[in-house]
Amino acid sequence: MSNNTPTPHIGAKYGEIAPAVIMAGDPLRAKFMAEKYLENPVLVNNVRGMLGFTGTYQGKPVSVMGHGIGIPSIALYTYELFNFYGVKTIIRIGSAGAYHKDLRLGDLVLAMGACTDSNYAAQYDLPGTFCPIADYGLLRKAVETCEALGYRYKVGNVLSSDVFYSDHPQADKWMKMGVLAVEMEAAALFMNAARSGNKAMALFTVSDHIVTGELTTAEERQTTFTRMMDVALSLI
């Protein structure tokens, strides 16, 4: 496995990335998290500006890294981490647009499953529809952490959409099926984890509400987006 590293997209050598990785779409969010939470963070990847750091949290090794926007991007990075670096657990943190009427700005959404309009699963040539789901142990612990810290949250299905600016919006159809929120990456993460026999979890902060049109302010994003980081680190 170590002979395959560094990879074309990750400059770290085998052993420089921890068995547990927390990933964010924005590499600068990964940098912020590493500097805020990790003891002695070391930059282990800067290929294409996709920053990755390894350090410790409460004595446990952990890496924090960006994954970019969309299923093709997260699929590439998580495939290499799972299959070439010996990573066993990946937790995605990110923002999401709320569909559910009871969600408020700043609430956390814990993804139990991820619907998608992507064709990513076609590569597996399955005789049916695959359901990308989170690892139950990680999901259960995330719920326990939210309860202990008093964070507002909902558990359920999200939509991992390939399209941000849609020419034919169909949010109402997903809402009818009880989908809580929309983001752009979790389904591929869950599929890569399943295919490699590893664990994955995704949790989100509601940054905007698709139904009401509400948006978070810069100050709200700065103060509330750290809650998902607290939860993610509790899973390590």
Share of the chain above pLDDT 90, in %: 94
Question: What DSSP designation does 133 have?
Answer: B
26 is catalytic: no
CA Rg value for the chain: 17
What band does 224 get if pLDDT is binned at 50, 70 and 90? confident
> Of 26, 117, 162, 208, which residue is the catalytic one?
208
* CATH superfamily to which 2-234 belongs: Nucleoside phosphorylase domain (3.40.50.1580)
* Cβ atoms of residues 205 and 108 within 8 Å: yes
* Cβ atoms of residues 208 and 214 within 8 Å: yes
Please write the tens of the pLDDT for every residue from 147-184. Answer: 999 999 999 999 999 999 999 989 999 999 999 999 99
What band does 217 get if pLDDT is binned at 50, 70 and 90? confident
Please write the tens of the pLDDT for every residue from 116-157. Answer: 999 999 999 999 999 999 999 999 999 999 999 999 999 999
Cβ count near 147 (within 10 Å): 10
Domain boundaries, the chain: 2-234
Both structure tokens of 18: 């921890």
